[in-house]
């Protein structure tokens, strides 16, 4: 049963996707969010603003990003053809830059000289620091002290780009706490500061505007796929933490009802162990960070610690539009465990010469599960949302510096 209207036009005027989304924030931020909403509507209708956004995407980010047929991987699996949307080839190495450019242009338009951001894996922090440098804005990035340890390289990158990185020691010392801290900063400096949220979560209008800026990914796929193979894919897969890369590639496919949309959450050590970050697969609805959505929480309504091998998926909530797409039956959500994601990471490295981010590896892993059960003329499009350079230390540690070689070079390695 189709529970949503076409043309699809959510969120509604008050920022709701069915029962999800909304503006659940303290009074102090209400005016700022209304101002942002108003200014975003104006910017969207301003051809000059949109033209500048497009120019930046083309000349600064390097868009459109290509779609690549992972033929060797597909052949090995012996089923559906796997195509990769190469967001890893963007400037700064992930999809995050699309949204940060859009928001930084908004900040400049609104005359805010200071931007703040929260970051988990550091990708959004790097993307924010990058655009801050590009547009001459002051930049403060909040990052959980636990994540700072896991992602030392990205911390250094942000500092090189001129940003101040503030360690957050409260709570679980990860992404959700960084978000709390960024909100506190925003409440205190609301006149001169623009808060660049890194995912399709937070209070309205953030889930909408982050989605819109990032939807360039799916828009490109819509013309690239027919150009390349004469058809749209049978399914589009993307990893889901907060869910910005997934919303980016899903959004324009929503009206294309024959295309399955599959979000891959972090199953961590397995849903049954409780050590995961799969809010849609194993969570319950609640209110966090300004919106109603699926959350990982206990019976008392406290948010509980999540776990994923990839810092970027390690978040106890998820964008409200995903919650709605799940309930409406338009998108499916599955959990992919750490080990499966790591295996996919290694396999993509050695079969295609592409080192994916651990986040994106979750989507690759699920495509690898699906492909063998499908006919060879079926097509899976995977959003390869980022590159894996940042994950070298994690992977090395997890695999005990073991390298997975092709049989032909196995002999050499044993020497």
Catalytic sites, residue numbers: 96, 118, 385
Which residues have CB under 8 Å from 158's CB, separation 6+?
A: 122, 125, 126, 129, 141, 165
Greatest Cα pair distance, the chain, in angstroms, is 67
Query: Measured from the CB atom, is 188 or 402 closer to another protein?
Result: 188
Helix H or strand E segment including 361: helix 358-370
How many chain residues interact with another protein (CB under 8 A)? Answer: 40
Residues in 247-266 at the binding interface with another protein, rule: CB under 8 A = none
Confirm or reject binding of residue 13 to another protein (CB under 8 A): no
Shortest spacing between CB 186 and another protein, in angstroms = 10
Nearer residue to another protein within complex by CB, 203 or 356: 203
First to last CA, the chain: 60
Q: What does the per-residue mask of binding to another protein show for 19-58, with x meaning CB under 8 A?
A: ---xxxxxxxxxxx--------------------------
Write phi, then psi, for 385 (nearest 5 degrees): -70, -20
HSE (side-chain half, CA atoms, 13 Å) at 173? 8
Q: Fill in the DSSP letter of residue 63.
A: P
- Residue with smaller CB distance to another protein, 242 or 248: 242
Residue number, 22 or 267, with CB nearest to another protein: 22
The residue among 375, 70, 356, 92 whose CA lies nearest residue 239 is 356
Q: Is 302 in the site for another protein (CB under 8 A)?
A: yes
Q: Residue 111, interface with another protein (CB under 8 A)?
A: no
Which residue in the set 5, 7, 13, 14 belongs to the binding site for another protein (CB under 8 A)?
14
Q: Beta-carbon neighbour count of residue 409 at 10 Å?
A: 11
Taking CB under 8 A as the rule, which mask of x and - marks residues 153-192 in contact with another protein? -----------------xx----xx--x--xx--xxxxx-
Q: Which is nearer to another protein, 176 or 347 (CB)?
A: 176
Q: Which of 109, 103, 92, 77 is nearest to 343 (CA)?
A: 77
DSSP 145: H
Site residues, another protein (CB under 8 A): 14, 22-32, 170-171, 176-177, 180, 183-184, 187-191, 284-290, 292, 295, 297, 299-304
């Amino acid at each position: 049963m189709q529970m949503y209207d076409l043309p699809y036009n959510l969120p509604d005027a008050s920022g709701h996707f069915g029962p999800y989304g909304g503006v659940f924030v303290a009074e102090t931020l209400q005016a700022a969010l209304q101002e942002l909403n108003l200014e975003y509507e104006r910017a969207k209708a301003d051809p000059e603003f949109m033209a500048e956004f497009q120019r930046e995407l083309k000349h600064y980010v390097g868009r459109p990003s290509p779609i690549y047929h992972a033929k060797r991987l597909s052949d090995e699996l012996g089923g559906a053809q796997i195509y990769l949307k190469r967001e890893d080839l963007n400037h700064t190495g992930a999809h995050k830059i699309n949204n940060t450019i859009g928001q930084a242009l908004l900040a400049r338009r609104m005359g805010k000289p200071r931007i703040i951001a929260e970051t988990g894996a550091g990708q959004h922090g790097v993307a924010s620091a990058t655009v801050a440098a590009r547009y001459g804005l002051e930049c403060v990035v909040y990052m959980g002290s636990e994540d700072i340890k896991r992602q030392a390289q990205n911390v250094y990158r942000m500092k090189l780009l001129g940003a101040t990185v503030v360690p957050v020691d409260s709570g679980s010392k990860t992404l959700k706490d960084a978000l709390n801290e960024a909100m506190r900063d925003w409440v205190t400096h609301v006149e001169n500061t623009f808060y660049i949220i890194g995912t399709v979560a937070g209070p309205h209008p953030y889930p909408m505007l982050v989605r819109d800026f990032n939807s360039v990914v799916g828009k490109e796929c819509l013309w690239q796929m027919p150009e390349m193979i004469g058809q749209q894919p049978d399914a589009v897969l993307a990893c889901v933490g907060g869910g910005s890369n997934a919303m980016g590639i899903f959004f324009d496919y929503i009206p294309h009802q024959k295309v399955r949309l599959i979000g891959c959450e972090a199953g961590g050590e397995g849903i049954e162990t409780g050590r995961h970050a799969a809010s849609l697969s194993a969570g319950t609805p609640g209110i966090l960070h300004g919106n109603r959505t699926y959350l990982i929480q206990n019976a008392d309504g406290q948010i509980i610690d999540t776990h994923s091998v990839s810092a970027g998926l390690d978040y106890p909530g998820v964008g409200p539009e995903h919650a709605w797409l799940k309930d409406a039956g338009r998108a499916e959500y599955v959990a992919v465990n750490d080990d499966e994601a790591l295996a996919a990471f290694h396999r993509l490295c050695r079969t295609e010469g592409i080192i994916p981010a651990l986040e994106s590896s979750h989507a690759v892993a699920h495509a690898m599960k699906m492909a063998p059960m499908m006919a060879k003329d079926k097509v899976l499009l995977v959003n390869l949302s980022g590159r894996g350079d940042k994950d070298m230390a994690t992977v090395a540690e997890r695999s005990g510096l073991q390298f997975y070689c092709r049989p032909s070079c196995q002999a050499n390695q044993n020497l």
